[in-house]
Chains A and B, each alone.
Chain A
Amino acid sequence: AQRVTQPEKLLSVFKGAPVELKCNYSYSGSPELFWYVQYSRQRLQLLLRHISRESIKGFTADLNKGETSFHLKKPFAQEEDSAMYYCALSVNYGGSQGNLIFGKGTKLSVKP
């Protein structure tokens, strides 16, 4: 079954602390994974995707096919990182590529 699991509903850290938002997936094909973020009063937006292998706002995510994981990491959290984070898997659905399966999201709260 195709599935994305984000085990933490809420993650609370202090400013300057490292943060890791967990994401595990289940998919028989070659996975394409994304992290989306929703800041307060803003629309859902792409944070990063694994094929780009880039760092956005200090966040990185590495695809680990052995562990079927795509955890999002940042070494030093900032207050402005507080937001809702969604991990998403692109799947072949009914012959169409590009449909996303989302995890249930993790709310990150960075305390001063």
Chain B
Amino acid sequence: DGGITQSPKYLFRKEGQNVTLSCEQNLNHDAMYWYRQDPGQGLRLIYYSQIVNDFQKGDIAEGYSVSREKKESFPLTVTSAQKNPTAFYLCASSTTASSNQPQHFGDGTRLSIL
């Protein structure tokens, strides 16, 4: 179904290489989020954006970068500085950055190191 689209579904990275994960939403949501999901760890916040042209670091931002040039797009770049990038990455959005607004999630991208 529509809503939030993440691509690709699977991604492989070589050592020293930067890779970019795509996240697009057609829900007209202001707020967008990136999480990392590791087995037994739950979800941890990497970056978030309350509104276009604005973004803030989350709990584990080191080695990652984002941009929010368009309302519907919030790409995540995993840089070579991220020493343990192998994980499942989830993008989410919400109507606004408000405490009672639920977040809607994409299908995720699984990143592996070659």
Residues of B within 8 A of A55 (CB): none
The answer to whether B105 touches A103, judged by C-beta atoms less than 8 angstroms apart, is no
If A43-B108, A45-B105, A96-B48 touch, whether A102 touches B56 (CB-CB below 8 Å) is no
B51 to chain A, nearest CB (A): 10
Within 8 A of B (CB), among A1-26: 4, 9
Query: Tally of A-B residue pairs with Cβ under 8 A?
Result: 67
A98 pairs with B96, CB closer than 8 A:
yes
Given contacts A94-B57, A100-B45, 17 further A-B contacts (CB under 8 A): A32-B99, A45-B104, A46-B102, A46-B104, A51-B100, A92-B99, A93-B58, A96-B48, A96-B56, A98-B97, A98-B99, A98-B101, A98-B103, A100-B33, A104-B40, A104-B41, A105-B42
Chain A positions 54-112 with a Cβ under 8 Å from a chain B Cβ: 86, 90-94, 96-105
Report yes or no: B43 in contact with A86, Cβ–Cβ below 8 A.
yes
What is the CA–CA distance of A94 and B58 in the complex, to the nearest angstrom?
9
A96 engages B97 (CB within 8 Å): yes
- Which B residues have a C-beta under 8 Å from some C-beta of A? 31, 33, 35, 40-45, 48, 50, 56-58, 90, 94, 96-108
Task: Assign chain A's interface to a size class.
Answer: 20 to 34
Would A99 and B48 be within 8 Å (CB), given that A9-B40, A93-B58, A104-B40 are in contact? yes
Residues on B with C-beta less than 8 A from A86 are 42-43
What is the interface of chain A, defined by CB distance below 8 A to chain B?
4, 9, 32, 34, 36, 43-46, 49, 51, 86, 90-94, 96-105
Q: Are the CB atoms of A99 and B45 closer together than 8 Å? A: yes
Task: For the complex, give the distance between the alpha carbons of A86 and B103 in Å.
Answer: 13
Closest residue of chain B to A95 (Cβ to Cβ) is: B56
Which residues of chain B are near A102, meaning CB under 8 Å? 35, 42-44
How far in angstroms is the closest Cβ of chain B from A91?
8
- B46 CB to closest chain A CB (Å) equals 11
